[in-house]
Amino acid sequence: MTESSPPAETNAPARPPAQKARGAWVVFGLLVLLGTVADLGSKWWVFNRLGLPGQQPPWVLVPGVLSLETTYNEGALFGLGDGLSWLFALLSLAALGGILLWLAWGRAIQDRWLVVALGLVVAGILGNLYDRLGLHGLSWHRVVLHADGSVRHHPGDPVRAVRDWIHVYYYDKFDWPVFNIADSLLVCGVLMLVVHAWLLEPPARKKSAEEKSTEPRTSVRGET
């Protein structure tokens, strides 16, 4: 008689949690790096080609639909909160801290969907924060006035505003606010977070529900 050999294992061993976390951090870091470089590189290229806002006419790529033009945005997305660039810079720093805490201690790093979504959001935040802090080194080249006619910026003042350059419209029927790649990354990341919150069940909650469903149920009957 020959001894029967144990059946061969068909499933590959699961990666340890620490190794999975390291891989997720690498993916997160690459998304942040590539997104930030794409945003800042595109801003640099367009502003060098078209000059500062108002210096050259828009570069029309698709007539009546798409053009490239340089503008400054001292507010948030879509021009909200115009003139409060310093406030949005502080909020951006707070958001960055909160996201890193969520990834490290809130265990968001264990969810692939959240890793991608937060990577896009952080890349968008960093791209626009770079501009709001004035790290691009640009200066106002003309007088900018408030709505009441008072001077808002003098020529030579440092520009602490987001550089926008993508203009999407449809003739005179539709006109989307000028935006940049960082804005697009932020919108995509936030939409992914909304989908995750409403449609995707978090792994921890799913695991907890599965554990409860496998627990033996006991019934208590009154003694007669």
Q: pLDDT tens for residues 151-190? A: 888 899 999 999 999 999 999 899 999 999 999 999 999 9
Those residues with Cβ within 8 angstroms of residue 79's Cβ, 6 or more apart along the chain or in another chain: 73, 177
Total number of domains constituting the chain: 1
Longest dimension (CA), the chain: 102
Q: How far is CA 110 from CA 24, 101, 136, in A?
A: 7, 13, 35
Q: Are 127 and 181 in contact (CB under 8 A)?
A: yes
Concatenated DSSP letters of 77-111: GGGTTTT-HHHHHHHHHHHHHHHHHHHHTS-GGG-
Q: In which residue are the tokens 């691009």 written? A: 136
**pLDDT for position 216:** 57
Low-confidence residues of the chain: pLDDT under 70? 1-18, 76-83, 201-224
**pLDDT for position 223:** 47
Q: In terms of residue numbers, what domain contains 147?
A: 20-198
- Residues labelled catalytic: 164, 183
Enumerate long-range contacts of 151-158, CB under 8 Å, 24 or more apart.
152/83, 158/134
**pLDDT for position 63:** 96
Fill in the DSSP letter of residue 201: P
**pLDDT for position 211:** 57
Please list, residue by residue across 71-104, b when 16 or more beta carbons sit within 10 angstroms of its beta carbon and e when fewer do.
Answer: bbbbbbbeeeeeeebeebbeebeeeeeebeeebe
Q: What is the pTM of this model?
A: 0.80
Supply φ then ψ for residue 163, to 5 degrees. -90, 120
Q: How far apart are CA 16 and CA 182, in angstroms?
A: 34
Is 59 among the domain residues?
yes
Is 25 among the domain residues?
yes
**pLDDT for position 26:** 96
**pLDDT for position 88:** 84
Q: How far apart are CA 157 and CA 43, in angstroms?
A: 20
Fill in the DSSP letter of residue 139: B
